[in-house]
Amino acid sequence: MIIEKDMSTTRPEFFRSLAIALADHPHKINGNHIIITGDNRQINLDLSPLPARVLSVSWHMEHWLLKMQFTGYTSTERDEFLKTFNRVFQRGGG
């Protein structure tokens, strides 16, 4: 199954948050491609740049497409992974 996420973050912030989300998952990072492995399962993450979001003349926000491909995960396992991932990447507004 492939899940796509539209993310507004800087690349360094993405990888800082990813390190928290993957704290107990063996993984390898190669540029913008991340492979998470374990117990005959795998998740491939591909981060691709999108055009920046222009909020004003002087404020542009980095914008990324994240594709997550799950192999060997049950729907429950996938949902648990996504729950943790989403919680780590959640940003408050106000």
In a domain, 12, yes or no: yes
**What is the predicted pLDDT for the residue at 51?**
93
Which one-letter DSSP state was computed for residue 94? Answer: -
In a domain, 60, yes or no: yes
Residues making up the chain, counted from first to last: 94
CATH of the domain at 85: 3.30.310.80
Which structural domain range is residue 29 located in? Answer: 2-89
Rounded Cα distance, 73 and 78, in Å? 6
Over range 77-86, report the average pLDDT.
94
Over range 73-82, report the average pLDDT.
94
Query: Helices marked H in the chain — which ranges?
Result: 11-21, 75-89
Over range 4-31, report the average pLDDT.
93
In a domain, 94, yes or no: no
| Per-residue pLDDT at 25 exceeds 70 | yes
Domain count, the chain: 1
Rounded mean pLDDT of the chain?
92
Do residues 77 and 47 make contact, with C-beta atoms less than 8 angstroms apart? no
93 pLDDT band (50/70/90 cuts)? low
* Residue 93 C-alpha from the chain's centroid: 20
> How many other CB atoms are found less than 10 A from the CB of residue 19?
12
In a domain, 35, yes or no: yes
